[in-house]
Structure 1
């Protein structure tokens, strides 16, 4: 266990749905480790996300040394929307099903003890500065995201997966994908890449600040969280059989060799299509169109520097 050399005042926000299963013990373990290390810790645990957001907003207004979120990518998204554009760093102890942002940052995503030890170490070091994505919604509002936006077949799968209670873990996403393959059809998009407009028929669009979604699917394997750019993946028109042939390659990041798969690096992209919703970090953002832009250096995180 890393001992603190300087006490920090931190807030720990715990996923309100993590009251059962393996994630139920992680929040208390984080709080206990921080207290043992001598930090000033306030635990934020509310019965709903809305109440947790309200508590966390009030906490951020006091200027703490860090906001620490315990949970999956949904909690990372919650934390990002609270601290992006501020000087308050975000700490992450993953205990969810996907944990894709933890993967992108080099935080142990299947070892809560290792993640806690790393957190204690990073609290004593300068925070790492990374990019964040800002989504301009069709209702005129704005939403931050940290890792990935989905706006195609992957978003449709997300909609189904988020309604499912079984199975747990990445297999839930895979099962939802198989269900949605039954009605697979291309979507007609209007895409605007840094002012350049193009029309495409596609199956899947992902806008990556990080590299993966769905618990390790390497959709944008070359993305960097601190390069000032977004990686936009477009999977073109495919038959069901063609899609099934490409899909296993996504887990290894090998799908980019297929000529029907393209990636554009941009600072800003607008995605428009009928009847499609956008998801940010696995959380529903709202219907298309949306405009997504990178905000370089907008997010401070308690994570190791890029090798």
Structure 2
């Protein structure tokens, strides 16, 4: 494995890259040609460029791109696409470039990659390679979060047409429709020899610093060797709605030391009945589930001022 500085220098000097864009992402199909033109104009030698129309082909296409031997594999899409790219690129001597083309773009926000496509391309030419942690839900790596409760149902049932039309508002709209018949879970988080019990409609375990496009806390990020477990509200639907609004409005003013956050390196999540689990918006089995960290598992091209521990 090259050092981060060596890989950064190789990307800047050689500019050997592969582009993979999820054409089903909210803006993917529309912006694929723009991304391709931007990378070419920036002087990259594109060993391969692939718009992926079928979700089932994404992982195979990423593996195909790796086989071409790039220094930088540029992945365009939403959080699910970026998470898939991270799993495929984990522990490889290749940096991942981000083109945030999705609805919430949580991981891009976490590593400070600009959401504007032109600025994101500029980061690929003028940024640096950093190491970030990935979460591990069972045996599935993830970039952003594990969700248990209402979110797992929302991710399964949010209409694709609504996401394309309204962006991130599709998720709360679907949640409101499902909430009327959703029962709360009794969730137990076991970590560090302690047990934390919550009666809630929703519990998250986050790796990065953002959720739903908003900061989780002012001091959470993807390179701090910590997972952050937290319920959203209590047993009533009203508290879920109130805490969702509070989290969105005050995330950047809260810290990991505040209630109800539990910041640990590993945990066991149990519920009073088997509950579906979603990982970065994708189904991932059900509870109980052990969730941990894979430290410094992924190399990412990020802005020069990104903190790299």
- Is the pair's TM-score, using the shorter chain for normalization, greater than 0.5? yes
Q: Which residue of 2 aligns with 1:186?
A: 184
RMSD: 2.4
1:90, 1:32 → 2: CA distance? 19
Q: Distance in 2 between matches of 1:236 and 1:134?
A: 25
Q: Is the 8 A contact 2:21 2:28 kept in 1?
A: no
Q: Could you say which residue in structure 2 is the equivalent of 1:130? A: 132
Partner of 1:139: none
Q: Is the 8 A contact 1:270 1:292 kept in 2?
A: yes
Residue in structure 1 matched with residue 288 of structure 2 by the alignment: 289
2:198 equivalent in structure 1: 200
Task: Give the match for residue 30 of structure 1.
Answer: 35
Q: Which residue of 2 aligns with 1:113?
A: 118
Q: How far off is 1:300 after superposition?
A: 0.7
Give the aligned partner of residue 77 of structure 2: 71
- TM-aligned CA deviation for residue 241 of structure 1: 2.3
> When the two structures are aligned, how many residues end up with a matched partner?
289
* Structure 1 counterpart of 2:16, from 9, 16, 29: 9
Report how far residue 56 of structure 1 moved.
1.5
Taking the TM superposition and a 5 Å limit, the aligned residue runs for 1:80-95 are 80-95=86-101
Q: What displacement does 1:196 show?
A: 3.5
Aligned 8 A contact 1:219 1:233 in 2 = no
CA distance in 2, matches of 1:160, 1:5: 42
- Structure 2 residue corresponding to 1:176, chosen from 148, 153, 174: 174
Unmatched tracts of structure 1, length 5 or more: 137-141
Report which stretch shifted further, 145-154 or 163-172.
163-172
The structure with the greater share of residues assigned to helix is 2
Per-residue deviation, 1:46: 3.4
Q: Tell me how far 1:208 sits from its aligned partner.
A: 1.2
Task: Give 1:93 shift.
Answer: 0.6
Matched position secondary structure for 1:45: strand
Instruction: Give CA-to-partner distance per residue, 1:47-67, whole Å, 9 cap, x none.
Output: 322223112113324442011
Q: 1:243 to 1:50 in 2, by over 3 A?
A: closer
1:53 equivalenced with 2:59 (yes/no): yes
The reply on whether 1:158 has 2:155 as its aligned counterpart is yes
1:303–1:164 distance in 2 versus 1, CA, 3 Å: same
Question: 2: CA distance between counterparts of 1:179 and 1:90?
Answer: 37
1:226 aligns with 2:226: no
Structure 2 SS opposite 1:98: coil
In the superposition, the TM-score normalised over structure 2's length comes to 0.84
> Contact between 1:277 and 1:288, CA under 8 Å: does it hold in 2?
yes
What secondary structure sits across from 1:67 in the alignment?
A: strand
Return the alpha-carbon distance in structure 2 between the equivalents of residues 76 and 103 of structure 1: 12
- Which residue does 2:238 correspond to in 1? 241
Find the residue that maps to 1:302 and give its secondary structure. strand
Q: If the length of structure 1 is used for normalisation, what is the TM-score?
A: 0.85
Distance 1:66 1:180, change over 3 A: same
* Runs (5+) with no aligned partner, structure 2: 1-10
SS of equivalent residue, structure 1 residue 87: coil
Pick closer, same or farther for the CA change 1:132–1:184 going to 2, 3 Å: same
The answer to whether the 8 A contact 1:26-1:70 is kept is no
Native 8 Å contact 2:23 2:29 kept in 1? no
After TM superposition, the structure 1 = structure 2 runs for residues 261-272 of structure 1, keeping only pairs within 5 Å, are 262-272=260-270
- Cα deviation for residue 261 of structure 1 reads 5.2
Query: Do the aligned partners of 1:191 and 1:270 also contact (CA within 8 Å) in 2?
Result: yes
Matched position secondary structure for 1:265: strand
Distance 1:158 1:292, change over 3 A: same
Between 54-63 and 85-94, the greater mean CA deviation after superposition: 54-63
Assess if the C-alpha contact under 8 Å between 2:200 and 2:236 holds in 1.
no
